[in-house]
Amino acid sequence: MSELVLHVGDADFAAQVLESSTPVLVDFWAPWCAPCKAIGPIVDELAKSYAGRARVVKVDLDQNPQVARQFQIRNLPTLLLFKGGKVEATQVGVPGNIRALLTQMLDKAVA
């Protein structure tokens, strides 16, 4: 995993995501989720590509049920893009063009 991807949870989600001055892509995942593991390298690459312009964080749903309930996460993986403390875009599941979809979400947020 990339050192640019920060793991956040119930205790620090507000400070790390909602109060961030830059857009934040949040990857909601779980250790048992095979599709979550499959997109891991893509999420890591995006963290490197957007370093300084946007942040990328991961939230383990098994360990952080409060955040999962707050944002009504029902399926994994779910990726939410936050800007100014609000959800700007959502991606649920892993379509074949996931890299392009996430890049488009981030490009719009940092423009």
Residues forming the active site = 33, 36
How far, in Å, CA of 22 to CA of 39, rounded?
Answer: 22
Q: What is the signed CA dihedral for 66, 69, 1, 56, rounded to 10 degrees?
A: -100
Alpha helices in 1-111 (DSSP H): 13, 34-49, 65-70, 98-110
Task: Give φ, ψ of 19 to 5 degrees.
Answer: -100, 5
The DSSP call for residue 65 is H
